[in-house]
């Protein structure tokens, strides 16, 4: 079987999920909303920003300024520049994986590219960096992964998605692709349809067995 690998970015390739959610915590404080970064990760990992703001707006009966997203993106860009790192073991895994690879993220293309550049991972993916904004379809919608497959001239059945969010897993399965769920916190997710790893040093073996 030919194999094409499609990676999520935040929390899968780079340790950015915490800082993305921490940026939300800081911005929400401006509106008198106090939610910890840890709670935001638990509730909204991998979720589109618009949906997060809609839910928080309803929960706290508030509305956000039109420039909220612009200010939030700028804040996160600063946080990532200061703190972002590759996920443990990911660089070694990418060095060993000799398959066509791409990145497919719910985040904006500019943010994803910047995260990969800051961590030195961009060279592994060449021009194959895709955003949900490119296709106006966000995970768990499968269209982003199907778009990535098309751009790599791959069939869905030849693709292996590596994800750290359940919405990403759902999107991969809906797309008819194999899926490896990266669960560094060992949260206990189980599925007969998904391969589960807890560290990126397990990735190469997991890909080999598919």
CA 9 to chain CA centroid, Å, is 4
Residue 102 has φ and ψ, to the nearest 5°, of -140, 170
Per the annotation, the verdict on 8 as an active-site residue is yes
Sheet holding 195-197, edge to edge: 129-131, 101-105, 4-7, 159-163, 178-182, 195-197
Q: Which two tokens stand for residue 185?
A: 């916190």
The active-site residue out of 8, 10, 141, 164 is: 8
Helix residue ranges, H only, the chain: 17-29, 37-44, 49-60, 68-83, 90-96, 109-118, 132-135, 143-151, 166-174, 203-209
Catalytic sites, residue numbers: 8
């Amino acid at each position: 079987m030919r194999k094409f690998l499609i990676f999520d970015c935040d929390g899968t390739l780079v340790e950015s999920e915490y800082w993305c959610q921490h940026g939300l915590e800081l911005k929400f404080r401006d509106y008198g909303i106090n939610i910890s970064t840890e709670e935001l990760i638990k509730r909204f990992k991998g979720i589109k920003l618009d949906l997060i703001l809609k839910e928080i707006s309803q929960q706290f009966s508030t509305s956000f300024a039109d420039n909220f997203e612009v200010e939030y993106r700028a804040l996160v860009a600063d946080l990532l520049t200061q703190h972002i790192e590759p996920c443990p073991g990911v660089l070694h895994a990418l060095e060993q994986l000799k398959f066509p690879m791409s990145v497919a993220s719910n985040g904006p293309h500019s943010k994803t590219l910047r995260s990969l550049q800051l961590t030195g991972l961009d060279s592994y993916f060449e021009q194959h960096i895709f955003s949900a904004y490119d296709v106006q379809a966000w995970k768990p919608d499968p269209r982003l992964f199907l778009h990535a497959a098309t751009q790599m001239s791959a069939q869905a059945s030849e693709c292996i998605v590596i994800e750290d969010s359940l919405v990403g897993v759902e999107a991969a399965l809906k797309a008819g692709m194999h899926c490896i769920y990266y669960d560094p916190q060992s949260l206990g997710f189980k599925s007969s349809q998904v391969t589960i790893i807890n560290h990126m040093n397990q990735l190469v073996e997991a890909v080999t067995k598919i």
